[in-house]
Chains A and B, each alone.
Chain A
């Protein structure tokens, strides 16, 4: 029974980690067709901003976390304008040379990977130069749950609730707001959306800022639980990528299902065989899933639904 409780906590922990790590990446990938390899570094920005706001400037933890989210969203906005859409270089180019200097990275998957990889190198090293090899850490709040000889961090377990809330809010935003409708129209058919008066470039800009903000939230939430080193983003990258691949094109549903499936696999294997095997199991699942469901779970669901609609 004790083992069962332990397994449950581990599942909640893994679920939260996977969903939170993937959410920002999934939104940017799903809507803009940009693979942001610097996603882990955006998380790092959120974590650093939170930690600095809390320790250096003495903000209370919730306010520091909000600051972390905002700083990362703002940073994402700048990155989008300068690198992804090339708006800033192109404006300067128009003024000085009379032509555009760079092509936007939208829907150029391979190029966006390479470019954001360059960005991540700069970010990691830049933070290392500015703040050194590590930073003082915020203590983990909320204490531990103790039960018959075992303990588990309350904070980490309660993050599962936050993860669910993030998914719910994302769903509501995309389903019911004006922005959500524009974003969905842009995914479905960019040209038609533009013809109908949707400012797709602004949609992309907002999307990137929201995705970055979510990455920042992940960083802010995990800041009290991980060691503050400039390379901390890479520990999120694996789970984020695996979840996006396994989840497939539908952002909210895909991330939820992927988080559930991968969280279970990770929790079971970690519980029985240890953390290392849990991680390997996650990666092997990803490879097998890509092999059999190249479009992810939701791509598969979509295909089945279409087949059924065509009528047997």
Chain B
């Protein structure tokens, strides 16, 4: 990290990802970020394929958390309906890939799935934002949409709800969704447990960096302006409705990515993804991590899901619920912004300004 002071090319690259809208604008942060990524990448080597299979799910959920972070944390639209787009994308991918089981068909399924998620968000968002629905009513509409889809998908048992060869299957869900494959016959990438893990990790890092670049761009500043004061932003001549719709659609696409990856990882889709307990998970992840921090969304998702997975007992939901209460009441900004504003300066003061303070934050931010 010390060598970077004369390396202005690196500075220019990093400048794209840095700004007031994200935490971590220092060489030390990027070094930690690299270390965290490498730690995650070394997981399958250390713990084997089963660990990779399990942890892929947490990484997939991180996309869902990122989608809510962008929509709620950066643009101020609290959506309980990210799972709607997650589920729609998953089901769409399922229908397409069961009907066309070839690598090309599966690739097409990925694209249509993500597109379906974005489209659903676009339609719902257009209806809401251009219809003058604001604030908490947006939240309630998204909540109601989740319930509608749950009620709807739960009754799709029977032949009437079979699309081509794919039966939606009502409560029992849709089995035999194929593994991920990308490309055309003969030149296709297929994925096992470990390769899928690396694929998802790579995609997550790329998505995180892309979103960082977005929220630190001029458009990102407009998004934050919409969050902070809608009316004033409109006074400055920005079309608030269009900004919200664009971000909401992007959020739908991101949730769609998560939905497709989830379906192909589990080889299964069921109406359970529209249940209220699942719908609330993204809100929990993002609240705990810090809604105004993309990194917070990812870190909290990985930590909470790991915790939930380790505590398979009956206390898991109690611990998660208490955690949520403590964070929303005691630390309304969330974990990562708190670490950035309070913990790191405090560590610097107590430990001294040397590099000795870094290990404490690594554990905070990379697991």
Residues of chain A having any CB pair with chain B under 8 Å: 35, 83, 86, 89, 101-103, 105, 109-111, 113-115, 117-122, 124-126, 128-129, 234, 237-238, 241-242, 245, 276, 279-280, 283-284, 286-287, 290-292, 294
Contacts and interface: CB of A to CB of B under 8 A. Distances in A.
Interface string B139-169: 1110111011001100100000000000000
B13 interface: no
Chain B contact residues, majority secondary structure: helix
B288 to A, nearest CB: 10
Given A114-B287, A115-B328, A129-B314, A283 B136 contact: no
A128 B314 contact: yes
Ordered nearest first, which 5 A-B pairs have the shortest CB separation?
A118-B324, A121-B321, A122-B321, A125-B317, A118-B325
A118 B147 contact: no
Nearest to B313: A129
A114 B320 CA distance: 12
Band of interface residues on B: 35 or more
Which residue of A114, A238, A284 has the most chain B CB atoms within 10 A of its CB atom?
A114
A105 B131 CA distance: 29
B57 interface: no
A117 B282 CA distance: 12
Interface in B121-147: 127-128, 131-137, 139-141, 143-145, 147
A294 B284 contact: no
B134 A117 contact: no
Given A122-B322, A126-B318, A117 B148 contact: no
Interface in B268-311: 276-277, 280, 283-284, 287
A158 to B, nearest CB: 28
A241 B140 contact: yes
A89 B330 CA distance: 10
Given A102-B330, A290-B140, A114 B283 contact: yes
Contacts of B141: 286-287, 290
A102 B320 CA distance: 19
A294 B328 contact: no
Interface in B86-115: none
Interface string B310-343: 0000111110111111001110100000000000
Contact of A279 (B133, B151, B321, B325): B151
